Structure formats: C-alpha cells, structure tokens
Amino acid sequence: MGPAVTESYLLKLNSGTVAELVLEQGPTDLLATIVSPSGDRVIVDERDSGPEPIFIEARVDGIYRLEVSAQSKLPNATPYSLTVGEFRPRKEDDDLRLQAQQLSTDAKRHESGKTEERKEALALCSRARDLWHQLGDRRAEASTLVRMGAYSFRLGEVTESRTRFVQALELAQSEGARWTEGEALSNLGLILWQSGEFSGALERWNQAQAVWKDLGHRYGEAAVLNNLGLRYRAIGSYQQAYKSYKQSLALLAALGDHVHEAPIWSNLGVLQRALAEDSTALQSFRRAAAQYHAAGDSRGEGRAILHMAEIYAAAHRSRQARRSLDQALPLAQAARDHRSVGDCFKLLGELLASGGAKQEALKHYDNALAVYRGISNSTGEAGALHSIGVLQGEMGNTTAALDYLNQALAIRHALGVRDEEAETLFQLARIERESGKLQEARTHIDATLDLAESVRALVAGAQLRMSYMASKNKYYAFACDLYRQMDHENPGGDFARLGFSVAERGRARSLLDLVAEGQIGIGETASKDLVARERRMHESLNALSQDVADLSEKSDRQKLEAATHRLDQALDEYYQLESEIRDADPRYARISPRPLGAAEIQSRLLDRQTVLLEYALGDQHSSVWLLTPESVTLFTLPGRAGIERAVSRFFQSLERSDRGSKGASAQADLQKAAAALSRMILPPAPALWGKRILIVGDGVLQRVPFGALPGPGRAASLIEDHEIVLLPSASVVASERSETATRKAPVGTLAVIADPVFDAGDARTDKPASGVKPVFARLPFSRREADEILQLAPAQSALRAVDFSAERSLFTSGRLAQYRIVHIATHAVVDAARPDLSALVFSMVDHQGAPRNGYLRLHEITSLHLPAKLVTLSACGTGLGKEVRGEGTVGLARGFIHGGAATVVVSLWDVEDESTAELMKLFYAGLLGPRHLAPPAALREAQHAMLKSGKWSPYQWSGWLAIGEWR
C-alpha cells in the first residue's frame, strides 16, 4: 500500500453467496469498503491493526468491488495481504455474523469521541461480542474483548477493563490467535502497572514482546518498548526508560518508518525534561512535531508543540511559550484530544500566574481540572490540583492550598509517580513553613528528599545523575534553610547537625559515585564491543571538538551551527554509552556510597588542628556550618544575591590592585572589599584561629580565594595563619582515603611535562614553516619552571618531558601512573558549556611539523587511573569549569580527582608566567625540600612568602588552590 493509494479487487459473486476474506493489515489501520453492483457501499473497519475478517454477502448477481485504503497518511509503502477463505452458500446465522461486523465497525467510529461516545462504542462492542459468542467464533470474540477492555480503560473502568483483557487473553491463547494475544498482553501490562502490580506488568510486556517478535511485528515490539519506557519514567527508572525508547526507535528506523517514531521522540523529550536536559528535550519535541505534521497527525503535533511551550515557560520565555500554546490549543481541540486541551488550560494558568493575573489563572486551572475529571485522567487531575494548591498558597489561602495539595498527593502516591509526588511534598513543606508549621514542613521535606534519592538511585551514569540532582537542588536548599530556622528558634537542639547532613547529601554526589566506581573498577570488565564503542566515541568527540574549534575561527555560521549540533549529539551518545557500560556491570546496582553525617566526619576527617566550613547559599538567608572534632555550629549568613555582590566587588578590587594600581587608594579599596566579604561569610569563631580550614563551597564561593581574606576581626590575611583546602564534599575525601589507604605507592617521585610544541612554525621543528599563525603561544617560562622543580628531585626517579616529548600519549599509555607527583605546565582550554570537552594542550606536531592530536580532554582524564599523591595544573584557569548546582565545579580538577589524584593544585584565573614560576619554585621547595610538607602546607608557605616579599600583588598568588587531601 503506497501513500495516498486505494487498491481495488473485483469479485464475481452470485446472489445468495457469502465470501469470507481476511485483510492482514499488519501494523497499519486499513479501511475495507465493499461496493455492490448497484453502488451501495459498506465499510468494514473493526481493528486498528492485525487480521481483519471480512464477510461479503451477495444479494444480487454481479461484480463486487473491495477497496482497500489507509486510514491515515502513509510516508512509505506498507505491506498488507488479502486472503480469500471461501465462497459458500449463505447460512442462517450469516445475518448475525454481518450484524456483528457492522456493530464493531460502528463502535470504532465512536472510540475517539467524548465520554458519551466512548460509552456508545463500548455498548456496540458488547452487543457484537454477544453475537460472536452466540456464533461460537472465539477468535472474533477475543478480538472484540480487547477493544472492550480498551474502551473501559479510557472510561476509567479499570476493574472491568482488566477482566476483559484477561478473558481476551485466555480465548486468544486457546485459539492460537497470536495477534490478539499480543494485544491483550500489551494492554493487560498497562492495567497491571496502573494498579501498582509492577512485576506482573513487566512479565506481561515481556510476553507481549516475545509474541510480536515471533510474528515479526516490529511495530508491536516498538509499541511495547515505548510502553516500558513510559512506565519506567513514571517510577523514576530513567536509564531503563531511555534504553526502552532507544530500542523502540532502532526497530522503527530499521523499517524506515518515521511516522511511528514521533510519539517515541515526544516521550524521550519528556524524559529529557525530567533530567533537566531542556535544550535536548526541545530538539526531541521539534523532531516529533515535524514528523507528526508530515503524517497529518494534528493530535500528536499539538502535544509536541505543547511540550515545547512548557519548556519555554519554565525558562521564563513567556512570549515564545504563549505563541506555542496558541498553536497547540487549536490542534488539540480539532483532534478532540481532551487531555491536551486540559494541559493547554493548565499551562495558560501557569503563564497568567507568573504574570500576576492570579484570579484569571485560577479560572484556567479550574477549567483544566474539569477537563481531566471529565475524561477520568488521574495524572492530569493531580497536576491541576497541585497547581491550584500552589496558587492558593501564593494568594495567602493556606487552608485551601493544603487541601488541594493533599488531594494531589494522594493521587500521585497511588499512581506511583515518585518525581511528581516529591514536588507536591515539597510544595506542602513550603506552605507549611510559611504558616509556621515547622515540624510538619520538616516531615514533608524529609519525605521529599527520600523520594528524590530513590529516583536518583535508578539513574545510571554520572552525567544523567548530575543533571537530575541539579534539577532537585531546590529541595536540599529548602531543607538546609528550614533546619537553619529551626536551629535559630531552638538553640541547643540537634537541628544544626541534621541540616549539615542534608547539605552533605546534596553535595558532589556524582563525584562520590565515580570515586566509588573507581575503587572496584566499574567498566574495566566491559565487553569488547562496549570498549571498542567507547574508544570510537572518544575519537569522535575529539575530532568533532576540533571541527567546532576550527569553524569558530571562520565566518560560516551555518557550518558552525551544524558542527555544533553534531558535537552535542555525539556528547549525548557518549553519556548514554557510559550509562550502558555501568548498567552492563552487575556490581553497579550495588554501588550506593552514603554521604557521611556530622559525627562520622568529625571522627574520620577532623583533628585538633583541622576544622571544616561547609556553605549552603539560599535566596533569603545562607548558612555555614563550622565543624570541629567536638562541635557543630551553624551560622546564618546573608542571602545568595548579597554574597554574590560582595564577591564581585572583591574580585574587581583584586584585579585593579594588579593592573599597576599600586597606590594607597587601590590597596585601601582591596582591603575594604576583602574585609566586607570576610565579615559576611566567615564565622566569628575562636575555633578557627590558627587551624587548617577545610572549605566546601557553594555557588560563587567555590571561586573565592579565601587565603586573601582577612580572618574574622583581624587585619592579617587567612593565609598567614591557616592552611586552606577546598573539598568537593567531605564525603568524597573520606571515600578517597579508604581507597588510597590500600593503594600501592608509585615508585617514581616526580614527572614534569612542560613547554610543548604547538605548531609547525615553532623553531624546534626540523624545518619550521613560515606564515603559520599560532593557535597557542609558546610558554618559555614553563621550561624554566620545570627545570627548577626537577633540581629538587632525585634524577633517577624523575621524568622530564619537554618539547615534542610533552605529548598526550604519556597520559593515555599509563606511563605517568608510576609517579607520586605529576606537574603539568601547559595551556588549558576550559569549555564551560561542555565541560567534558575541556582540555590540556600538549605537543600538536611532531619533529617534521606534521599534525598530531595534542588535546587531552576531560572525558579522557577521568579514565586515566593516575594514582598520584599530587597533580599540579600549572596553567591559567585550571580551577574553572561549569558550575552545576549541588555538584560544584565540573572541570579539569574534578577530572583528575576522579582519575585517582589525591590532591590537585589549580588556578582560578589567568596569571602571568613569571609569578607562576616563582610560586611553583617556592611550592616545590616546601614539598620536596627537607621538611617534605604536604601539598596544602607547602602551598600556604609559598603564598605567604610571596605576600611578605611585597613584590607580588594578592592577585598573583591568591588564585592558586589546593583541592582534596591535605595530609
């Protein structure tokens, strides 16, 4: 059957004859029309897919025409078959048979209407079923029971629906009606899942998948996989959902079918939104909308556009959201897609509420609620109740707000949709806190966090988990601030400790997982196929990254956008491959590193000379916990915006003091800004004095050079009396310690990689090319820096890699794993948008000037297995990266910690070569000299010496930080 084609078959029949045929329509809904010699037309259309029995009664002699056409627009030719059973004399019961056929066809015409029409469809099917039963046609009865079950389900009659699917399954299996068996199993799985019988549902879907596979019905397989994806997503099993959708898409792609791909792309977009991957989701919805439009499916197109409107609304792009909504609503209404109409009303309410038109918004929410209830859509009903509850809370109607939210909570809990349930619990906690019900708020926010954690555990892969946790960061921020308030109102209670535990639970969880994975070698036992795919993905990412970099230097915007799109697609594939590798390892499911509580951190990490400051920034108030071995104290700080302004003023003063403004005015301005920031973020506690300070920052505080701030109530900089060590989280360091305690120490002392050759015009090549425009300038000071450092280490246990030897293969070959200290002096490329593509740059040409890959990217660094005590990244801005809420800065430093380094020293900004060389000389003198200081202690002494010399501005030395282990 080709697109827009009607095929006709002629049958010569004598009066009183009945022709029995079977239209094997496969996955496509085909329409059979019988045209008598006199031109009368009878339509036969009982089933959406599969075998369609056709009975033709000849009332007069002549030629009867059977027309076969597609119900919807087909993009490609689709196969079908028409089988002639027999021509036979009319029997007495043929009237019943023809009547049942007509009743089933009439029922199908009513199936997509409103509730009353669906009831009529069910009644017509019921009459048809009685006739098939009377005729003893068990196959037809089974097929009709499947349709009755579907109609009952849409009417909200779940018990009746389940009964009919069970009856259909039993009849189909007894008669060997495999297609009907597959339909019954697929639908029964959906009913069982809705009822919370998850294992039974999965069993039925797996059985259905086997049936469709036996029948070669790839569309049926794809539909089951799509259903599995929907259910996995609903319970928060996002990785399984992704796999199901991708398998479904692969089946359809093999058939060249883009029409049936559209709903899967749409569902994939919903999943991506749940993981806070909104830009990727937008692409999926656009693709779905285009495919629906090409197929003439206004219902699907409207829903995809509606999802796009939801993304725009969440990003506060109200005009684009409204334009998309104005497109989606007419499409939904024309298609009589009542659920989408309700969703449009609900989103319109959200847009009005965000614009301040609360009463008007409430009307639209009420309209949405009426629509959902009219079609018995529990998911939509809960969403509308939730939105009304939130709006009532904003309007100050606390009692009404709590009532609506509790109604929504009951439905969402019954449906088992954990993400949505968590959001309703969060809103309950928020409104209860505002009304002074702090204990009730605590109960609900604790339940919110538990649900979010349970969903997170089902997400495979660091990137997806990180995205998910970033989208839930508001839960942890709210809980921290609630415990801050409870501690303030009930001093001496245990609320400070409880709040700290929440802060630690919400901090650097993906890195904590990665460290735990590295300890047992997750991925090292992957199949050869997965390993090969990973290697190809690394190569592809490197090549695509270079394409984007090259095109960025040119003016062809269209090519740059196309290359960027290919790169983003490749990154998405890479993240999914990493998830597959983890999923394939049976040990992965058992990895669940637990963030430590205050008491464990006090006993395992702190001592009499070490204290911990952990920050949590909030909108109205922020918090800092001061932990000593004996106490946990919580201090209230200003809100996020005030702290960010103070940090900005400090940075501006710091930079001005370095730009030749050596006068008293610039220095006074810096001292004033530093003192103001110190008063704002450092607790006035004697417990800090003279101690090593471990800092777990949050937001902008991750980029603050604390050593340049004066101590609380003092004029001297912190660096004069304190070692400063930054931690991704306290739990990460504790986890690393458990691994390094059993690690075999490297035999080599020091490896220095410096002064690479970046281009063919470099004088160090055999025949320097002329006219070469260098992409990266040579770093002559890095060579001097390397040689001065190497003088401090025994020659026999040191490696000097400069010039062409400063190459990326040193890292990828594993050669550097034998050195305790790895010093890297080269350029860094920080990609804040795509942190996995950030890179260190090594020699990019060989002796002859031929190009070679010199980029060592973050996605490669993380798998280095580099068990160094210290990695020093002596390059500009190596401490920068993408800030992910809750996770911290995702960049090169994090990559080396994941790769096995205990401590990483990095810079926060661009610093001139001369001051860097001076700091490194002092740093390594402390590290490798007679005292053999630990890295943070050696860094403090180097920075203190530069401060006291008076030659260097604070900008030149304070941007260097030690991250990780301090021992």
Neighbouring-strand partners of residue 112: none
Q: What are phi and psi of 377, to 5 degrees?
A: -95, 100
CA 584 to chain centre: 19
| Token pair 């792609």 in the structure block, residue | 253
Reference 428, options 407, 394, 405, 446; nearest CA is: 405
Q: Which of 559, 590, 621 is the last residue of a domain?
A: 590
Q: How far apart are the first and last CA of the chain?
A: 74
Output the pLDDT for position 671.
92
Residue 414 in tokens: 């019954």
Contact present, 248 and 229 (Cβ < 8 Å): yes
Contact present, 68 and 30 (Cβ < 8 Å): yes
Please give the Cα distance from 800 to 820 (Å, whole number): 14
- The verdict on residue 680 lying in a domain is no
CATH for 926: 3.40.50
Reference 212, options 168, 252, 242, 163; nearest CA is: 252
CA 144 to chain centre: 42
Q: What is the mean pLDDT of residues 435-443?
A: 96
Q: Does position 510 have pLDDT exceeding 90, yes or no?
A: no
Range of the domain at 765: 743-964
Q: What is the mean pLDDT of residues 135-142?
A: 94
Please give the Cα distance from 873 to 859 (Å, whole number): 17
| Token pair 């002074």 in the structure block, residue | 436
CATH for 69: 2.60.120.380
Please give the Cα distance from 317 to 769 (Å, whole number): 51
**89: which residues sit within 8 A by CB, 6+ positions away?**
16, 17, 18
Q: Does position 227 have pLDDT exceeding 90, yes or no?
A: no
Q: Does position 495 have pLDDT exceeding 90, yes or no?
A: yes
- The verdict on residue 935 lying in a domain is yes
Q: What are phi and psi of 805, to 5 degrees?
A: -75, -15
- The verdict on residue 396 lying in a domain is no
Which has the minimum average pLDDT: 24-28, 323-327, 349-353, 516-520? 516-520
Output the pLDDT for position 23.
93
Q: Does position 413 have pLDDT exceeding 60, yes or no?
A: yes
Kindly indicate the confidence band of residue 201, based on its pLDDT and cuts at 50, 70 and 90. Answer: confident
Q: Does position 497 have pLDDT exceeding 90, yes or no?
A: yes
**494: which residues sit within 8 A by CB, 6+ positions away?**
none
Q: What is the mean pLDDT of residues 590-606?
A: 87
Contact present, 800 and 752 (Cβ < 8 Å): yes
Q: What is the mean pLDDT of residues 276-295?
A: 90
Please give the Cα distance from 633 to 612 (Å, whole number): 11
Contact present, 249 and 261 (Cβ < 8 Å): yes
Output the pLDDT for position 955.
92
H-type helices in 776-855, by residue range? 780-790, 809-812
Please give the Cα distance from 736 to 189 (Å, whole number): 44
Q: Does position 590 have pLDDT exceeding 70, yes or no?
A: no
Which one is predicted more confidently, 824 or 197?
Answer: 824
Which has the minimum average pLDDT: 359-373, 654-668, 887-901? 654-668
Amino acid 291 reads Q
- The verdict on residue 273 lying in a domain is no
Contact present, 480 and 499 (Cβ < 8 Å): yes
Q: Does position 961 have pLDDT exceeding 80, yes or no?
A: yes
- The verdict on residue 670 lying in a domain is no
Reference 136, options 96, 107, 179; nearest CA is: 96
Reference 374, options 347, 337, 348; nearest CA is: 337
Please give the Cα distance from 201 to 384 (Å, whole number): 28
Contact present, 905 and 939 (Cβ < 8 Å): yes
- The verdict on residue 534 lying in a domain is yes
Output the pLDDT for position 206.
86
Q: Which of 560, 590, 620 is the last residue of a domain?
A: 590
- The verdict on residue 695 lying in a domain is no
Q: What is the mean pLDDT of residues 556-582?
A: 82
| Token pair 């794993």 in the structure block, residue | 817
Mean pLDDT rounded to a whole number for the chain: 89
Structurally, the chain folds into a number of domains equal to 3
- The verdict on residue 14 lying in a domain is yes
Residue 959 CB burial class (10 angstroms; 0-12, 13-18, ≥19) = buried
Output the pLDDT for position 575.
81
Pairing of the two strands 828-829 and 870-873:
unpaired
Model confidence over 35-63: pLDDT tens digits? 999 999 999 988 888 889 999 999 999 99
CA 316 to chain centre: 20
